[in-house]
Amino acid sequence: MKHHLRLWTALFAILALVAASCGDAEEEAEVAEPTTTAAAPEPEPEPEMADPGTPGNIPDPGAAAGRFDGVEVVVAGPAGPLDYMKDKAAEWAAETGATVRVDEIPFGELNDKVLAALSTDTFIADVINIGSNLGGDLMGGGFMAAAPEWAQQRADWEGILPIFRSNQLSFGGVAYGMPWDGDVLMYYWRADAFEANADAYEAATGNALRPAESWSEYAEIAKFFTENAWSGQDEGYGLVELPMRNNQGWNGFMTRAAGYAKAPNDPGFFFDPETMEPRINNPGFVRALEDWGAVIEYGPPGMLNFGWIENALSFVGGLAAQDIQWGDIGPMSKGSDSVVEGAVGYGPAPGADEYWDPVAGEWASGDGPNKAPFLGFGGWFNLVPATSNHLAAAFDLASFLGSPAVLAEAAVTAGTGVNPGTAATLDVDLWVSAGWPEDEAKAYTDAIRASLDHPNAVFDMRLPGFPEYKDALELAVSEALSGQHSAQDALDEAADKWNEITDRLGRDEQLRIYREALGLTG
Partner 1 sequence: MLALSIFPLIFSLGLTFTNVNLFRRTPIRFVGLENWARIFSDEALLETLVNTVIFVGGGVAIQYALGLALAVALNQGLREQRLMRVLFLLPMMVSPIAVGFIIGRMVFSEGFGPINDMLQALGLPAVAWVTSPGVAKWTIILVDTWQWTPLMMLLILVGLQGIPGEPIQAARVDGASEWRIFRHIVFPLLLPVSITAILIRALEAFKIIDIIRVVTGGGPGRATESVTAYVYNVGAKQGDLAYAASAAYVLLFVVIGVSFLALYVMRRVQARYE
In the complex, the residues that contact partner 1 under the rule CB under 8 A are 10-12, 14-15, 18-19, 22, 26, 108-109, 111-112, 115-116, 119-120, 137, 141, 235, 244-247, 300-305, 314, 319, 464-465, 467-468, 471, 475, 478-479, 481-485, 505
d(CA 228, CA 201): 9
Question: Quick check: helix, strand or coil at residue 343?
Answer: coil
Q: Least separation, in Å, of the C-beta of 469 and partner 1?
A: 10
Least Å distance, CB 312 to partner 1, is 14
The alpha-helical segments, DSSP class H, found in 334-486 are 391-401, 404-411, 428-433, 438-452, 466-481
Q: Which is nearer to partner 1, 198 or 229 (CB)?
A: 229
Query: CB of 102 within 8 A of CB of 137?
Result: no
Q: Is 25 helix (H, G, I), strand (E, B) or coil?
A: helix
Q: How far is the CB of 373 from partner 1 (least distance, A)?
A: 26
The distance of closest approach from Cβ of residue 113 to partner 1 in the complex, given in angstroms and rounded to an integer, is 8
383 within 8 A of 177, measured Cβ to Cβ:
yes
Cβ-count burial of 520 within 10 angstroms (0-12 exposed, 13-18 middle, 19+ buried)? middle
Decide whether 201 or 270 has the Cβ nearer to partner 1.
270
CA distances from 210 to 54, 221, 472 (A): 51, 9, 36
Asked if residues 226 and 298 have their Cβ atoms less than 8 Å apart, the reply is: yes
Residue 58 or 118: the one with the smaller Cβ distance to partner 1 is: 118
Give least dist CB 88 to partner 1, A.
Answer: 29
Q: Which is nearer to partner 1, 191 or 505 (CB)?
A: 505
Phi, psi of 376 (to 5 degrees): -65, 135
Q: Which residue lies nearer to partner 1 by CB, 67 or 245?
A: 245
Pairing of strands 127-131, 72-78: parallel
Minimum separation from the CB atom of position 119 to partner 1 (A): 5
Closest contact distance (angstroms) between CB of 111 and partner 1 is 8
Q: At what angle do helices 507-517 and 487-505 cross, to 10 degrees?
A: 110
Residue 33, classed as helix, strand or coil, is coil
Q: Which of 404, 399, 209 is nearest to 322 (CA)?
A: 209
